[in-house]
A and B are shown apart, each in its own frame.
Chain A
């Protein structure tokens, strides 16, 4: 009997919400940030909620593009595919409010080679790349292949690599990523599981486990706490956070971020913005408790 080899399935592309060629706030030095599409949390306070949803090709967004960049490609039967023509897209983001799943109609699929090429173009002006989103680790297989390709390319091999993560990745999947990146910047949204669920839609067990795993591996580059005044900044939360910090081997610096409404969807508007006074007070309290903090961004 003839054995037919199956046609190998092409590796899945990465789905990217946006590439920011220059950032000085997503890790040390000059960095390019890749915001991957799709997240497994659903934070009401997310400041780029269009990175949360995954497109299901419903086509509701198509007619709202003023530049004819969006189209619905119809295949056989019920098959439809939303397409965004990058050459027409002006990144005006007028399509965003029309996605019922908090997705991004102008998200783009990248093969590894084309994303490497995009990064290579900017490489002489970069210290590193940060993988964010959305939740970058949802596309971990793509990330692995991407990192390997960046290593192989002469002009990108020197670039530092960091992942920005919500920490929901299971323990078994971290090692493959950790051997390919310099570190992970991790968000702790809440210590109490009820508070965490309110702020993210998910439980925090896995997040805390990831914090410990990353710290153990010496790959926890930064711990971040988004302070939502009146929600996750009570005494119990603070105590628990300090305890967590001191329990970690090789604890990294803690970055305090102030909750603001900029970019936040309707759900998040009901939570008040955190005041600078609260930030200063928390900064003092945490410092006194022996936590190493990054300077507060006072602007």
Chain B
């Protein structure tokens, strides 16, 4: 079959796929077209690294025409209105919700849906004076439904906190009541700013529906000059900017490049792989910024809601556990990453070495001229590699030991990191225990706290959610949410629902998404 015939078959496959809704079919076609871009190859060494599986391109093309993640300054938009969208600055709650709903439909990202919805409590609180509790609840309930039905992708992510607010409390109430997989939600917590009873509400929500994530606001904010948002799974990125792209380094595979000793790995492999990463990132970012014209023409840029000088790029790593375990094996040592102190300490030394690289490698068109280190949560094709710097699936210890093992890694990552702590449902009767884990964990340097109770209908897959009931529906008919098909794949490939604390590493991969 010629290439054009192959392409035609692929198109036919998508448009007749009974498991896809119409918007999903159209998205699939667009992504298919994108995958057919003329080759814009990386340098030879980098191409080889991709082929060997040492670098992974997250299925992003070599010629990206939109940034991977965009974080518009929604507050600014609401203050000045939008010329492109022909919207005046909102004056009351209805107008504010209407404004945001419309704006969201026009924010690009790798998934086609906005990965950041803003610090909703801060955005909306100015508009709720004189609005009764019941009216506020109704307005936010309708808003929440609108988000789920118009942006059906659970990488869509809203933030709350750290301060207290009527809107924040009401959103928590609505989110637990509706238990939708969209939007993903993070509460940014800060001791001394967030009242104790609000933390209790947050942990009650986690127990009810495995949402929200809790972010260590003080620790993360310190790494950003002008504010940050938690987006997509759990990436922390500059407000009013975003990330051009994400490229990830397969640490498990990188072991092949060393002689089996820690010394050789740190002295030689770390700098070598970092250079490969930098070269590939430069290639992509250059096309996006200098050729695609995104930053010159897109209305978000023209209206000052995002600006190039607040963009960064993510240097992602994954498979740390497997790298460490291979190094331990090579030394004849039995310790395993995350479970034994020696092995975990080795993991930390490796991460620190990559941190030093990222601190010094210059990157074009990035804030401060530097990239951000990101603990990448994996993709459904990762059969052998554990996500990011996590402990291998199925061998996680009790939540407390899990936190103790993983907390030391968090300090090195300024582009987002998260571990998912599996909780036994008995914690429902003892919510104080969860509060203690959150506040104690943050005290130990944890940047994000994400939990998953095994018996909730909403199941955490990496950093986003799917509903078990939606997965069954997907099998038999089209299901609205794009992210559900990933969840279904996870159920089949890794039997996510059959193992309690099992989490699957996934992220959107445009081309192979629709089967």
Interface flags for A287-299 (1: CB within 8 Å of B; 0: not) read 0000000110101
Report how far A32 CA is from B441 CA in the complex, Å.
15
Residue of B nearest to A90 (CB): B334
Report how far A26 CA is from B427 CA in the complex, Å.
11
Q: Which one of B400, B403, B455 has the highest number of Cβ atoms from chain A below 10 Å of its Cβ?
A: B400
The answer, yes or no, to whether B361 is at the interface (CB within 8 Å) is no
The answer, yes or no, to whether A20 is at the interface (CB within 8 Å) is yes
Task: Judge whether B440 and A125 touch: CB under 8 Å.
Answer: yes
Report how far A124 CA is from B446 CA in the complex, Å.
12
Cβ-defined partner of A24 (8 Å) among B397, B404, B427: B427
* Set of chain A residues within 8 Å of B139, measured between Cβ atoms: none
The answer, yes or no, to whether B398 is at the interface (CB within 8 Å) is yes
The answer, yes or no, to whether B425 is at the interface (CB within 8 Å) is yes
Residue of A nearest to B442 (CB): A124
Report how far A121 CA is from B425 CA in the complex, Å.
25
**Tally of A interface residues using CB under 8 Å:** 20
Residue of B nearest to A121 (CB): B404
Task: Judge whether A126 and B440 touch: CB under 8 Å.
Answer: yes
Task: Judge whether A124 and B426 touch: CB under 8 Å.
Answer: no
Chain A proximity of B66: nearest CB distance (Å): 42
Report how far A127 CA is from B403 CA in the complex, Å.
15
Interface flags for A107-122 (1: CB within 8 Å of B; 0: not) read 0000000000000011
* Set of chain B residues within 8 Å of A127, measured between Cβ atoms: 432-433, 436
Task: Judge whether B400 and A297 touch: CB under 8 Å.
Answer: no
Residue of A nearest to B401 (CB): A21
Chain B proximity of A45: nearest CB distance (Å): 20
Report how far A126 CA is from B441 CA in the complex, Å.
10
* Set of chain A residues within 8 Å of B511, measured between Cβ atoms: none
Q: Is the interface of A mostly helix, strand, loop or mixed?
A: loop
Per the 8 Å Cβ criterion, residues 248-299 of A in contact with B are 294-295, 297, 299
* Set of chain A residues within 8 Å of B443, measured between Cβ atoms: 124
Task: Judge whether A22 and B432 touch: CB under 8 Å.
Answer: no
Report how far A21 CA is from B399 CA in the complex, Å.
9
Report how far A116 CA is from B433 CA in the complex, Å.
21
Cβ-defined partner of B426 (8 Å) among A21, A25, A294: A25
Task: Judge whether A24 and B398 touch: CB under 8 Å.
Answer: no
Q: Which one of A22, A28, A29, A122 has the highest number of Cβ atoms from chain B below 10 Å of its Cβ?
A: A22
Report how far A217 CA is from B171 CA in the complex, Å.
46
Chain B proximity of A61: nearest CB distance (Å): 22
The answer, yes or no, to whether A31 is at the interface (CB within 8 Å) is yes
Cβ-defined partner of A21 (8 Å) among B400, B430, B432, B434: B400
Q: 6 closest A-B pairs (Cβ-Cβ)?
A: A22-B400, A125-B440, A24-B433, A30-B436, A30-B433, A24-B430
Q: List 26 A-B contacts (CB under 8 A).
A: A20-B398, A21-B401, A22-B401, A24-B426, A25-B429, A25-B430, A28-B430, A28-B433, A29-B430, A29-B436, A30-B440, A32-B400, A121-B404, A122-B400, A122-B401, A124-B440, A124-B443, A124-B444, A125-B437, A125-B440, A126-B440, A127-B432, A297-B426, A297-B429, A299-B426, A299-B455
Binding site for B on A (CB under 8 A): 20-22, 24-25, 28-32, 121-122, 124-127, 294-295, 297, 299
Q: A125-B437, A299-B426 given. 18 additional CB < 8 A pairs?
A: A22-B400, A24-B424, A24-B429, A25-B430, A30-B400, A30-B432, A30-B434, A30-B437, A30-B440, A31-B433, A124-B440, A124-B443, A125-B441, A126-B400, A126-B440, A295-B429, A297-B426, A299-B455
